[in-house]
Amino acid sequence: MGVTAQVTDLTGFVSGCEGPGKTTALEFGATDFRVNQIVMGGDRAGLIAIIFEVPSVAAAMEVSAGINANSETVSIMKDSGYQMVSRSLMRNVATRGNTDGQYGSMLLMSGGQVTDEEADSNLGDGWNHMSGAANGMRLVQSFAAGATPTPWALIGWTDDLDAYVAASAQSMADPKVQ
């Protein structure tokens, strides 16, 4: 589950998320939690992405309800000038590596339905090119993301953006990946 938001006090918001926000999310069923600022993202540049990894749709609803019912997390949102822009629920279809890294990248993609096995194989083809530059990659599919022409997203994590971009260009040039 992910939320994008605008905040006026980034430092205060991040500090609150690292404490009570994360604790509350984990208490209500999230298995991981992180906050990222979108730097290069078109109309989303400057927004904050709050990511809650959850094991199920039901858990996503519990985490959302728990965050919004907790007076401490609500106070953090209010004090930091938090304003939600969007909320989405994505299904993790395939993963390689891990989510560690100073930087993240998200490529939004259109396309038809494929089996999870095909999606995993396709991610493996790309990972063959990316594994030297990316710490991890994940292919996700929208469950609930509003009206979007891009039901798929490829997320990657890296510590070296230049190497990541070079590996990405190599991957995209491979007919098997396209």
Residue 174 in contact with residue 155, Cβ under 8 Å?
A: no
Torsion sign over Cα 63, 156, 102, 132: positive
CATH tag, 90-178:
3.30.70
Per-residue confidence band for 122, with pLDDT thresholds at 50, 70 and 90? very high
Beta-strand ranges (E) seen in the chain are 2-6, 32-37, 48-53, 83-97, 103-109, 136-144, 152-158
Confidence at residue 29, expressed as pLDDT on a 0 to 100 scale: 96
As a 3-state breakdown, the chain gives helix, strand, coil percent values, each rounded to 5, of 40, 30, 30
Query: Is it the case that residue 80 has pLDDT exceeding 80?
Result: yes
Closest CA to 3 of 75, 59, 80, 67: 67
pTM: 0.84
At 115, phi and psi to the nearest 5?
-70, 160
Tens-digit pLDDT profile for residues 23-70: 999 999 999 998 988 888 888 888 999 999 999 999 999 999 999 999
Per-residue confidence band for 116, with pLDDT thresholds at 50, 70 and 90? very high
Angle (CA) 12 14 15, round 5°? 65
CA 56 – CA 153 distance, rounded (Å): 19
Residue 63 in contact with residue 54, Cβ under 8 Å?
A: yes
Tokens of 62: 């519990």
Tens-digit pLDDT profile for residues 129-171: 999 999 999 999 987 777 666 788 899 999 999 999 999 999 9
Do β-strands 103-109 and 48-53 pair in parallel, antiparallel, or remain unpaired? unpaired
Q: How many other C-beta atoms lie within 10 A of the C-beta of residue 1?
A: 21
Confidence at residue 149, expressed as pLDDT on a 0 to 100 scale: 66
Residue 67 in contact with residue 24, Cβ under 8 Å?
A: yes
Confidence at residue 152, expressed as pLDDT on a 0 to 100 scale: 87
Tens-digit pLDDT profile for residues 43-53: 888 899 999 99
Which CATH architecture is the domain 1-81 placed in? Answer: 2-Layer Sandwich (3.30)
Question: What percent of the chain is modeled with pLDDT above 90?
Answer: 70
Every domain of the chain with CATH number 3.30.70.100 lies at 1-81
